[in-house]
Amino acid sequence: MAGFRSAEEFWPNPKDLSLLPFNFERVGSTGQVLISNMVGDFVRLSDQDFDRLTRLDVKSGDGLYERAYAAHLITGATQKSQKQLLALRLRSRMSFLRQATPLHIFVVTLRCEHSCPYCQVSRQSTDRSRFDMSEQTAMRSLDIAFQSQSKRIKIEFQGGEPLLNFDLIKTIVVEAKKRSSASGKLADFVIASNLALLDDHVLSFCKEYDILLSTSLDGPADLHNKNRPRPGGNSYELAVAGIRRAQSELGPDRVGALMTTTEASLERVDEIIDEYLRLELDGIFLRPLSPFGFAVKTKLYQRYDTEKWLAFFERGLRRILEINRGGRPFRELYSSLLMQRMFTDKPIGYVDLRSPAGIGLGALVYNYDGNVYASDEGRMLAEAGDKTFALGHVSEASYRSLVLSDNLVNAVSESLSQCAPQCSNCVYESHCGADPVYHHATQGDPVGIKPLSGFCARQKGVMSILLGMLENPEDRAILRRWIN
């Protein structure tokens, strides 16, 4: 009887191996190289192992071969499975391109009784009703929203303060429900409000139609009232009272809050997080200022740089991990989105993490005057006179004409990070997304010069922080729990 062949006879011939596409970056002076494959899986190698990998000086059983093969960094000349699996995963990650626009933002008024210095919207005083959306414009906007082939759409009401035009919100919701029943298309609703005008009538309607409330909460009373002034100086008290009432009458998961980081917030991240914990909210989005609207006029967005915000973010994230280690589930919401990008191939709805960009394809914005924009930020630019991201007017547009408009096609075609200079070879490219509106606003170009981009610096900084925390097994377990 013939004996068994030695294991070495079944090892692949190193001459038959080839490298698969990957990006890499040397990690400071640590002697390590961070590598990502074409679907964003990360692996760290020493300089020596990286040198061996690039020379294909590997063989089965040496450890490096197994790591490189599992990370889709190498393949054999006769093997198809690695390339097929990468293609399947990439197709899954890009599947949002097959989906019609799911989010439709109705700006029902520009009026607002707050006067926030960082406001991204060109708000108007409460007595200027000509800045309200008309019922005719609203119905035509609904026509377009329901032309989207998405089986489920979300209608979000924004302002100004949308509750100042609550009668129109009711009309839109009732009509959308009728159309939903007739078409079989599901419709969800969100009202983005400061909650100052929340009353029994609003809550009753929200409960009847299962409407989600989204509000702003910047931290403790003195900080919130400073960031979000209103007559009476009681924006914090009204926001907290509104959150409490909504939690009680609609359910704890039917109201959410967002914060915006101002210069006054930078040293107070613990207090801000404590405020969210006290209100029994399940997470916080540590959000920087954006260069739009009044934030530009007041120059607030220039008051701190990316490095200071990243320090704020990291302190906050470490505090949140401590809270979770103590047994209380609580998420940093942007990190949870990035965890989903890093550890699954499921496409996400957050348009800022898409490439090509999610503008128009992920959301359309119907302004009070009937003009339609590719994004909320594009609307804000238009209010300042820049119509680059204007797509048409509801009186003459269809869904098809909007998503195929030259302005949108041009912006989306230039936003593919896989092809963009200094993105295409970046180790973080698979998770970073593209933001042509931001780069147009700050650099006058939809692609932008990435070393000068605050968006790029924040994205890379946040992912670097997260990758460092993932090295700790306990932190890794917590972060991975945030995915779902």
pLDDT per residue as tens digits for the range 380-410 = 899 888 999 999 999 999 999 999 999 999 9
pLDDT at 294: 46
- Sequential DSSP letters for 231-265: TTS-HHHHHHHHHHHHHHHH-TTSEEEEEE--GGG
DSSP state of 27: E
Residue pLDDT, tens place only, 316-337: 999 999 999 999 999 999 999 9
Residue 172 predicted with pLDDT over 90: yes
**Residue 357 counted as domain residue:** no
CB neighbourhood size of 254 (10 A): 15
pLDDT at 464: 95
Confidence of residue 136 (pLDDT cuts 50, 70, 90): very high
pLDDT at 12: 61
Which of 223, 287, 282 lies closest to 258, judged by CA? 287
**Residue 310 counted as domain residue:** no
Confidence of residue 6 (pLDDT cuts 50, 70, 90): confident
CB neighbourhood size of 123 (10 A): 23
Lowest mean pLDDT among 75-84, 189-198, 295-304: 295-304
Residue pLDDT, tens place only, 411-450: 999 899 998 999 999 999 999 888 899 999 889 999 999 9
**Residue 128 counted as domain residue:** no
Distance CA 133, CA 165 (A): 8
Instruction: Return the structure tokens found at 20.
Output: 């698969």
pLDDT at 121: 55
Distance CA 280, CA 275 (A): 9
User: Are the beta carbons of 470 and 479 closer than 8 angstroms?
Assistant: yes
pLDDT at 60: 84
Confidence of residue 42 (pLDDT cuts 50, 70, 90): very high
**Residue 59 counted as domain residue:** yes
Q: Which domain holds residue 89?
A: 11-93
- Sequential DSSP letters for 32-49: EEEEEETT--EEEEEHHH
User: Are the beta carbons of 250 and 283 closer than 8 angstroms?
Assistant: no
Mean pLDDT, all residues of the chain? 91
**Residue 143 counted as domain residue:** no
**Residue 191 counted as domain residue:** no
Residue 295 predicted with pLDDT over 50: no
Distance CA 377, CA 439 (A): 11
Distance CA 253, CA 281 (A): 8
DSSP state of 420: S
Residue 200 predicted with pLDDT over 80: yes
**Residue 87 counted as domain residue:** yes
**Angle in degrees, 0-180, between the axes of helices 166-183 and 200-208, rounded to the nearest 10:** 10
CA 149 to chain CA centroid, nearest Å:
23
**Residue 41 counted as domain residue:** yes
pTM beyond 0.85: yes
Number of structural domains in the chain? 1
Three-class secondary structure of residue 160 per DSSP = coil
